[in-house]
Structures are given as structure tokens and as C-alpha cells.
Structure 1
Amino acid sequence: MFRFADPTYLYLLIILPFIAAFYIYSNFKRRKAIKKFGDPELMAQLMPDVSRYRPDVKFWLVFAALALTIVLMARPQFGTKAEKVERKGVEVIIALDISNSMLAEDIVPSRLQKAKMIVSKLVDEFDQNKVGLIVFAGDAFTQLPITSDFVSAKMFLESTTPALINRQGTAIGAAVDLAARSFTPQKGVGKAIVLITDGENHEPGAVEAVKEAKKKGIVVHVLGVGSTQGSPIPVPGSSNFKKDRQGNVIITKLNEEMCKELSAAGKGIYARVDNTNSAQKSLISAIDDMAKSDMESSVYSDYDEQFQGVAWLILLLLIADLMLLERKNPLFKNIKLFKI
């Protein structure tokens, strides 16, 4: 794929036809004026060192260099580029609960939006770490494999909604199992799962899954989102709230005991997410304290700058212009590159 990073500069190309037209017109007027002094062939014999074509060649060399300079200013880019960089950090996989209960608004603006804000700020802190994203409700799936491409991480995070999973529930165990299998095989790197959930309606096996992850050397941190008092669940696109089969409004509460049990089993921290930044700060501090190791990462850039080739062409054109004299060089008078 080809593009210009600053295409606005390409508007300068509009002036080139006017410059060419002005030169052609001036050339025409100059030759017309010469004819008034006598026969052009006789004048050429009287001025043997004057070349008829060299000034034109010099002009078009400079003209081409000017056109390419404008193209250079527009920053032509083409293809993709992979850069391998050495990082010293840890691997973190975020398991984000996107069940309907995360739509509750006891945390402003909602549990899910607050969780996404925390993850986004966490990713901003990751200049050396790798991050992956798993979402879960009744099922769990990988939204983003572990990577150091933080731009993609935030893009996938932004598009995360409960609509991604049809089956409702809180399959914490499945999410932790999937996360534990999603790390790279590299040894010596600190690995952590950040579980963000309200802990409600969890399915069996959550604690067991966390313990298995801990046996593999993976720390499990838990962020509990919501209030213990509870809140109704809004129905998207309306002013109504979700109700049970009896027609009663469902009140969803943070299962703080379950969250604490999971963090204890995973030897990680538990932090309750409220309308402050305390949970975010606690999590960043815990991750910073983890053992870090050298990691080789491939960072992909959508476009690769192509200015080098254009710059070399401009340089060659200007060198040719400097070397080409308007008058014939006596040292090369026997070389007939141009007609008299």
C-alpha cells in the first residue's frame, strides 16, 4: 500500500506547469530576438562555444529536482516494516469480564467503561512490557494475542462490548485457563494475569484454574468492579432495566469475597475499583515489582518511509546540473553529446 504522510504539499505541484510555460515562452522570445540580429546558422558559427540545447537540459534537470523535492516534502510511504527491538519487561494478559452485569452504573460511567479506562491507562504505562487481551462472559476468547503493539491493544479494547459474546454468565475459570495458555514460552519473564470482573454468577472451577496458573509461575491479580450495595443493569438503547422471569428488576452486586479468594489463590493483589484511581495505581505498582527479563519483540509499522530513493534522485539531478555548463567545455569539445 502506498500513501503520502503529508499530502498537502502535493498542491505545490500546481505551480510547475506555470514555471514550465514561462520558461518555454521566455525561450521562444529569446530565440525570436536572436533572429532579428541575423541568420541563426551564421550566428552559431560566430559563437562556436555557445550550446543551443545545454540551457534547456539544465532547466529541465532543475525542474525535475524541484518536482521531486515537492514529492519528498509530502513524505512518500509504502508497505509495512517490522522492527525488532529488545525490551526488558514482563508479560501481562488482561482477562476482562464483559457480561451484562458489567453495564451497571454504580461505578461512573459504568463498570465496563471504568474497567476499559483502567486498562487503557495501564497500557500507556507499558513501554517495555507485552500485553494480551481476553474477554469473557459465559465463554472466553482471545481478543488480542500477547503483543507489544500497544496501539492495536487500545484499538481492540475500544471495540469491546457485551455483544461480542452471546452466552451470558461469568466463566472466570475458562478465562484464566485460556490466559495461562496464551503466554509466550520464554522462560525467566515475569507473567501475570489481570482479572477484571464483578465476580457475580461465576461458574465452578475459578479458584482451581487460578491455582493451576500459579503452579506455572503466573501471578493472578484481581480488580473487583462494582459496589457491594448493588445496582440495576440498564438495557442498552432504552431507559429500562433488566428484569428476571418474575418481572423484578435485577440488582447486580460485587462479589468481593470471590475476588479476594481468587487473588489469594493467585498470590496477587486485590483492588476494588471505585470512582478513584487507587485500584489502577495499586495494579501498576504490583506489575512494576515483578521480575523483568530481556524480551525480543517485533514491532510493526504500517508504512515505511521511502524518502531515501527520492532524495538520491534529487541529489543526482543537482549534481548533473552543476557539472553541465551552458557553454561547451574546451576540454571535451570532441565529445558530441549535444548539437551546436
Structure 2
Amino acid sequence: MENEFIEPWYSLDWFNPVTLRSFTWERTEILYALFAVPIFFLIRWLLRQRFNQKLPVAVTSKDLKSSPLNLIRLIPEFLLMIVLLLVLTALARPQKTNEKVEQWTEGIDIMIALDISQSMQIEDFQPNRLEAAKQVALNFIQGRIQDRIGLVVFSGDAFSLAPLTTDYDLLRAYIKDIHFEMIESRGTAIGSAMAVVTNRMRESTTKSKVCILLSDGDNTAGNIDPITAAELASAYGIKIYTIVVGKEGLVPYGKDFFGRPNMIENTIDETTLRKMADIGGGEFFRATDNQALAQVFTKIDQFEKAEIKETRFKDTSDYYFIYLQWAIAFFLLWLLLKSTFLSNVLQD
């Protein structure tokens, strides 16, 4: 990794507080020793003052003068203190770390097969079964990320309404436009719907392929047996979730002359859809109201999460050598001045 600081080692910017705060320190405990260095030199100077041998010289009071020039004798000591401070700074290992995180997801291919037969107008869901199914499908799409989703609708026949796509705005528009008259032939062709799903997904190279089939009745139309269609889908690696919507017994269907709901007898056979889910390695669900249907799609959403992969790159640059070079420079200067008259100036 290239150094972010382009200044040469002798630049004073290396001692800028902003620069120092930008570092991370590998051995922060050494930084505490910086405070001990001035204390050490102060104690050292006091001990010298007390115990150094003094030469008695008799002078008159008028000749006893103190000059600021006498302080130059402290320059070598001051330089040596700076050397120690710089060495400790280098030992603390100032560093700059740049961590990059790359994430990507491996999406899932999902086909939603939706029953639009006349019985989906039954109003045991609000406002009816089809509209409730459309709403949860819209919510389901809203929560997906980078998954390709397609739509198949069926009643007496089946056709692909939308191919696998990540254009979720387009999918939502298609779902909102679904109505009962899209297919003229009556009945419930579950096997045909499963065959259309398989045809749409058979060339997919995605690791995870999922079909969510929602219906409220038995297979009463089409020329393909649902179990055979499920086995074919399973052979192409398609996981099948099946959902039966509706209550058994008397359910409201339309209104009479006085605006009161007509009650009709409704029976549901779960056997076929249960077996299809078992063959497809998925799960069977039964929903009897809007809330239960929403919970089913929430569960499927949790089951089929796209795999998020993450790679982290951590680049670390060391800057200890900058302060080590400063320490060497001050050390050489200390050696030079140590042997000169500066260190031999008579103390008061």
C-alpha cells in the first residue's frame, strides 16, 4: 500500500497533532512512557546539582553575575531527551490502516405461481383471496435483494406473465394488473402451472431455484398431472413451496339482492399440494386469513435468503521509521555538541 503521507521524513508535518491523531498505535502502552522522560531528566539534573563536585572560588559580590548564556549548557541534555522521546514514539509503532470490505450476494431465482381461478373471488380473505395473495406477493418482492423473480398465473390454463427479472418495479406493475379474466378457460390447472415454472427455470444456472405455488383448490384442468410436474421440477433442482388458501365450510361469495353476502360450501383437499412440496424438498403451508398468509410469505422469505459473501482487505502501513530517522539525526547532533564547549561551560 502506498503511503498516504507524501512528505519527506524531515518534514515538520510529522509532528502535527492532526497527523499524530490519524495514526493507530500497535503498542499504545509505550506512549505512556513519553511522560516519564522529562521527569527522568528533571530528577537527573536535581541529583547532579546536589551531588556533583563543586570547586570553591572566592569572588567578590560585584563579580558574581548570572547570564542567560549559561543555559546553553543544557542544549545537549535537551537533545538527548528528544532522542529518547522519538525512539519511544517509533517503538509504539505508528500505523495507518485501510480496511476495505467487498460484499456481493449470490441471488436466488424465484417463480411465483398464482391461482386466478373464479374460486379466488371468495371473500373469506379481505377483500378476496386473489387480492390478499397479490398484496403479500408485493410485500414479498419488496424485501428481496438481487433475486430474479418471475410470475406465472393459472386457472384452466397457465402462462408466464413475467420472466425471471430483477426489475421489481415491472413485477409490481404486473401483479397489480392481475385479474380473473386473464385466462378464459375455467378450472385450476396446477400441473400446467408447475410445467410453465419448470420451463422458465430449467436453463437457470443459479444455485438456488425456488417455486412458490399458491392455490385454493384441487387440480381440475390441464393435461399434466401435478405430481409428475413436481417430479420434473425437482429433477431440475427447483425447490417447491405450496400454499393452500381458504377456509372450509361456509364462506362468503358475492352478495344477494339486498347486499348481504352469499354463503357457499367450500372444501379443500390438501393432499396434492402437500405431496408436491414433499417432492420438491420445500414446505406446505395452509393459510385461512390475511394475517396467516402474510406470515407464510414471511417464513419463506426467511428460509430463502440470498447468500451474502464478504471479503476483507486490510492494508497497514508503518511510519515508525520516520521518527527513528529523526531520532538518529538528533542523536548525531547530540554527539557533536556533547564534545564541544557547550557541555563544559562552568555551572554557576
Shorter-chain TM band: 0.5 to 0.7
Q: What is the rounded CA distance, in whole Å, between the counterparts of 1:107 and 1:123 in structure 2? A: 21
* Aligned partner (choices 137, 145, 165) of residue 147 of structure 1: 165
Map 1:283-294 onto structure 2 (within 5 A). 283-290=297-304, 292=306
Specify the code of the residue in structure 2 equivalent to 1:226: G
Q: Judging changes above 3 Å, is the alpha-carbon distance between structure 1 residues 102 and 237 closer, same or farther for their aligned structure 2 residues? A: farther
Q: What is the rounded CA distance, in whole Å, between the counterparts of 1:262 and 1:184 in structure 2? A: 18
Q: What is the rounded CA distance, in whole Å, between the counterparts of 1:235 and 1:143 in structure 2? A: 31
Secondary structure of the corresponding residue to residue 157 of structure 1: helix
* Aligned partner (choices 150, 159, 165) of residue 132 of structure 1: 150
The alignment status of 1:227 with 2:247, answered yes or no, reads yes
* Aligned partner (choices 186, 204, 208) of residue 228 of structure 2: 208
Q: What is the rounded CA distance, in whole Å, between the counterparts of 1:225 and 1:182 in structure 2? A: 25
Residues 13-64 of structure 1 show CA distances to partners (whole Å, capped at 9, x for unaligned) of xxxxxxxxxxxxxxxxxxxxxxxxxxxxxxxxxxxxxxxxxxxxxxxxxxxx
- Kept in 1, the 8 Å contact 2:245–2:293? The answer is no
Q: What is the rounded CA distance, in whole Å, between the counterparts of 1:235 and 1:139 in structure 2? A: 28
- Kept in 1, the 8 Å contact 2:113–2:211? The answer is yes
Q: Which structure has the bigger radius of gyration?
A: 2
Q: What is the rounded CA distance, in whole Å, between the counterparts of 1:213 and 1:236 in structure 2? A: 43
Secondary structure of the corresponding residue to residue 181 of structure 1: helix
Q: Give the Å deviation of 1:285.
A: 3.4
Secondary structure of the corresponding residue to residue 277 of structure 1: helix
Root-mean-square deviation (Å): 3.1
Q: Normalized against structure 2, the TM-score is what?
A: 0.52
* Aligned partner (choices 263, 269, 272) of residue 277 of structure 2: 263
Secondary structure of the corresponding residue to residue 220 of structure 2: coil
Specify the code of the residue in structure 1 equivalent to 2:245: V
Q: What is the rounded CA distance, in whole Å, between the counterparts of 1:93 and 1:237 in structure 2? A: 41
- Kept in 1, the 8 Å contact 2:226–2:272? The answer is no
- Kept in 1, the 8 Å contact 2:126–2:290? The answer is no
Q: Judging changes above 3 Å, is the alpha-carbon distance between structure 1 residues 198 and 264 closer, same or farther for their aligned structure 2 residues? A: same
- Kept in 2, the 8 Å contact 1:92–1:192? The answer is yes
Q: What is the rounded CA distance, in whole Å, between the counterparts of 2:179 and 2:122 in structure 1? A: 13
Q: What is the rounded CA distance, in whole Å, between the counterparts of 1:227 and 1:221 in structure 2? A: 19
Specify the code of the residue in structure 2 equivalent to 1:118: V
Can you give the 5+ residue segments of structure 2 that lack an aligned partner in the other structure?
Answer: 1-103, 309-348
Q: What is the rounded CA distance, in whole Å, between the counterparts of 1:168 and 1:283 in structure 2? A: 27
Specify the code of the residue in structure 1 equivalent to 2:207: V
Map 1:97-112 onto structure 2 (within 5 A). 97-112=115-130
The alignment status of 1:163 with 2:181, answered yes or no, reads yes
Specify the code of the residue in structure 2 equivalent to 1:258: T
Q: Give the Å deviation of 1:238.
A: 10
Q: Which residue of 2 aligns with 1:272?
A: 286
Q: Give the Å deviation of 1:105.
A: 0.7
Q: Which residue of 2 aligns with 1:73?
A: none
Secondary structure of the corresponding residue to residue 92 of structure 1: strand
Specify the code of the residue in structure 2 equivalent to 1:155: A
Specify the code of the residue in structure 2 equivalent to 1:175: A
* Aligned partner (choices 168, 181, 200) of residue 182 of structure 1: 200
Q: Which residue of 1 aligns with 2:141?
A: 123
Q: After alignment, is 233-242 or 211-220 more displaced?
A: 233-242
Q: Give the Å deviation of 1:292.
A: 4.1
Q: Judging changes above 3 Å, is the alpha-carbon distance between structure 1 residues 232 and 115 closer, same or farther for their aligned structure 2 residues? A: same
Q: Which residue of 2 aligns with 1:191?
A: 209
Q: What is the rounded CA distance, in whole Å, between the counterparts of 1:147 and 1:252 in structure 2? A: 36
Residues 63-105 of structure 1 show CA distances to partners (whole Å, capped at 9, x for unaligned) of xxxxxxxxxxxxxxxxxxxxxxx75320100000000000001
Secondary structure of the corresponding residue to residue 105 of structure 1: coil
Q: Give the Å deviation of 1:250.
A: 5.5
Specify the code of the residue in structure 1 equivalent to 2:144: F
Can you give the 5+ residue segments of structure 1 that lack an aligned partner in the other structure?
Answer: 1-85, 243-248, 295-340
How many residue pairs end up in the alignment? 205
Specify the code of the residue in structure 1 equivalent to 2:178: T
Q: Which residue of 2 aligns with 1:306?
A: none
